[in-house]
Chain A
Amino acid sequence: MDLRYTPAEEQFRAELRAWLAATLPTLPPKPKADDWPGRREYDTHWQRRLFDAGYAGVDWPTEGGGRGASPVEQLIYVEELERAHAPYVGVNFVGLLHAGPTVAVEGTPEQRARYLPKILRGDEVWCQGFSEPDAGSDLAALRTRAVRDGDDYVINGSKIWTSHAEVADFCEMLVRTGPEDSRHKGITWLIVPMDTPGIDIRPLRTIAGSTEFAELFLDDVRVPVANRVGDEDDGWRVTMVTLSFERGTAFVGELLQSMELLRAIRDAAAATGSADGDGGRFTARIGHLGAELDALWALTRRNVSQAARTGVPGIGGSVFKLAFSELRQRLGELGMDLVGTAGLSWDELPPSGEWGGAWAAGGGPGTVALTNAELVDTWVNGFSRTIAAGTSQIQRNIVAERILGLPKG
């Protein structure tokens, strides 16, 4: 066991850090959360900057136009971007972390040439059409049907939880091509251009008030057969390839951000004395969360080391996801307990001791400025973490059945 980085890895880190330091100050101001065209422009601009500097798709194979970095370099990449407060992957998430890697592995040479460079350059944005109103955790129950008609598939049905649908160019979509009850044996993976006639997008409002995702209604949507990735009825296997990417290092950025947030909460509590006189309870909660975050950072490095040896992201991702999503919710609760009545407002309020739970913005050098809005956001959005990308209950089934070998129910 060795936690030190090699000189080559340190070199990669130093170059990236220098580039980030020079580049981040030149970025345009961030758009508002619900300004989706603005967010697309901002996120794809950032992606283009990464591309021009040779940092697009660091985890992609070189055949797909990526950098082909080792798992350890990928970890350094995510770590440095987070530490520098670089923009999040945002609307490029599905393209870079789902669809792109899937096309790279399962697509035809023509598909790879057509789609991958534009994902990497930030020219095209993807969304995901997997879940349906009646097929959530039970994805194999999906019913959106695609029927062959000459050189086309004709799609009818609906999809849900499609993030960034309004601004996406393509949708990675799972459709039923086999008999109604064919389950995972009759599913096909299709690339659906979002400007195809017959697609109706209806945004869903989340409990955070945002329109993070949408419902898609598909009415005789015609897609060329050439847009199929993998064989007809083989989409389930193709999908498993996609999901294994999602459970790799997708949460590392948020893990590191959580550490920084925890430090800021501790410093704010100390600066205002808001936790004084509680017998150390608040401090113990901070320390406990800190120890858990440290442990998950260790687990991340273990999973990455394993991926470096085996070549694929391990099942350890499910263990991590399960632990981290629930931890993130407790971090949200800690923040709400810090801000007191200021936590009742989504509007940003000036830091003050007047809000019941005294708190202050930022606690000194090296810490980030806290706002009540950020803490409210962390708490409310935390509720999605144990649901999105596989509910905690499904994750427990995966851990119990695939790691511990317990029988399926």
Chain B
Amino acid sequence: MDFELTDDQRSLADLVRTIVAGRFPLDRTRRAEEARQVVDADDWAALGEAGVFSLTVPEDRGGVGLGLADAAVVFEELGRGLVPGPLVASHLAAGVWAGVVAAGSELPELARSADGLAGSVDGTAVVGAVRRPAVGNGGPLLVEHLASLTALVVVDPDGGLHLIAGDDLAAVADVAVPVDRSLDPLTPLAVVADLPPGDPIPGGEAGGSVAARWTRDHRVLTGALCAGMAAATCGLAVDYAKGRQQFGRPIGSFQAVKHLCADMLVRAETARAAVEAAAVTADQPDVGDPDRAAAGAAMLAAEAALANAKSCIQVHGGMGFTWEVPAHLYLMRARVLATSLGRLDALAETVAARY
């Protein structure tokens, strides 16, 4: 038993951190604020080249052949850097593609093409996901990053998966109405009045192995993004508290501020431990219950990302409420990611049932 990052995992994290620093410095990413298309094809391909989407795809399918624990380490870094785009969906889509091909099942032709799921492996495709609401069936609903997508995975209320790509997706995008101001200025939204049913993904029927894995890994990797964001806002708040002077001393020397920061670290560290344990449990199912671990970790990480963004704004005082200070970007992204997990209480109920 050794629950520290391996040397390889540290190197992987460093590599991703370097790519994020080079391609996604926040002041550069912010130039796309409130744009309809935030994902840059070159940057996305660079993430693909680094293996962000193909990490857990077997090597004989063009992937890196690593585990979900390695992917979690990578996604923490992406969250820390507030990298925009449908990162989790694209990663999961690559896994679906590899799994379906490996099983020898038939996929609709469009999914096999580089425009569909196949391109998600190397980052030539941008695959998004949307949860079909329990009521209203096809719409209206909000789709994230629609203008950038080459394929869209539709997650049914029961966890079943369908795929919309090619002309079908183009038709959806044509009539979709962009939201003028989305809550997260780096997650553009479009209103889709009527979502077509899409093509069923083999194994993606409710309760199928592909669908179950999608649900679990979506929780783990979304949790990883959130854990990275919780660490980032803790760091932003601490840096500000060390530098900002009031009453002739750094505000970080006041216990009222200090204790806010300490609580941020506790939330970030427990969320990170939970997410990484969930990822390891998915890779090594004999050490625990992967579904319980994934549900609990995602819930705690989403809560940590939200609460830490809130405290980050508070520590920054009036500046924290300005557009200039990026604390709000972490807050809004946390809301986007938490929403993608569904009701957090439902995750708690899943943990309770499996405890």
Contacts and interface: CB of A to CB of B under 8 A. Distances in A.
Does B bind A? yes
Chain A CB count within 10 A is highest, among B5, B274, B284, for B274
B252 A407 contact: yes
B292 interface: yes
Q: Indicate the member of B242, B252, B276, B286 with the most A CB atoms within 10 Å.
A: B252
Contacts of A240: none
B195 interface: no
Contacts of A288: 299, 348, 351
Interface stretch (B41-49, B179-187, B254-262): B254-262
A168 B274 CA distance: 41
Interface string A246-278: 000000000000010011001000000000000
Interface string B283-304: 0101110001101110110000
Interface in B235-254: 238, 241-242, 249-250, 252-254
Question: What does DSSP make chain B's interface, helix, strand, loop or mixed?
Answer: helix
Contacts of A389: none
A19 to B, nearest CB: 21
A287 B265 contact: no
A266 B266 contact: no
Nearest to B271: A295
A299 interface: yes
Interface in B202-260: 234, 238, 241-242, 249-250, 252-255, 257-259
A405 B4 CA distance: 23
Nearest to B279: A1
B347 interface: yes
B287 A319 contact: no
B3 A294 contact: no
Given A2-B1, A3-B3, A283-B352, A298 B274 contact: yes
A308 interface: yes
Contacts of A322: 262, 266
A395 B261 CA distance: 12
A408 interface: yes
Contacts, number: 181
Given A1-B3, A404-B261, A291 B286 contact: no
Contacts of A3: 1, 3, 277, 280-281, 284, 287-288
B349 interface: yes
Contact of B1 (A263, A297, A301, A396): A301
A406 B277 contact: no
A284 B69 CA distance: 27
Interface in A292-314: 292, 294-299, 301-302, 304-306, 308-309
Interface string B40-79: 0000000000000000000000000000010000000000
Contacts of B352: 266, 283-284, 286-287, 290
Nearest to B259: A396
Given A2-B1, A308-B2, A407 B250 contact: yes
A311 to B, nearest CB: 14
27 contacts: A1-B279, A4-B1, A5-B1, A259-B355, A285-B348, A286-B348, A286-B355, A287-B353, A291-B274, A291-B295, A291-B348, A295-B297, A296-B273, A299-B269, A299-B273, A302-B3, A319-B265, A396-B259, A399-B262, A400-B258, A400-B259, A400-B262, A401-B258, A403-B265, A404-B262, A406-B261, A407-B253
Interface of A: 1-6, 9, 72, 75, 259, 262-263, 266, 280, 283-288, 290-292, 294-299, 301-302, 304-306, 308-309, 316, 319, 322-323, 393, 395-397, 399-401, 403-409
Q: Which 7 pairs, one residue from A and one from B, show the smallest C-beta to C-beta distance? A: A291-B296, A287-B348, A287-B352, A298-B277, A295-B274, A287-B351, A396-B262
Given A283-B348, A295-B297, 12 more contacts: A1-B2, A1-B3, A284-B345, A284-B349, A287-B355, A294-B293, A294-B351, A295-B270, A299-B269, A309-B4, A395-B262, A406-B261
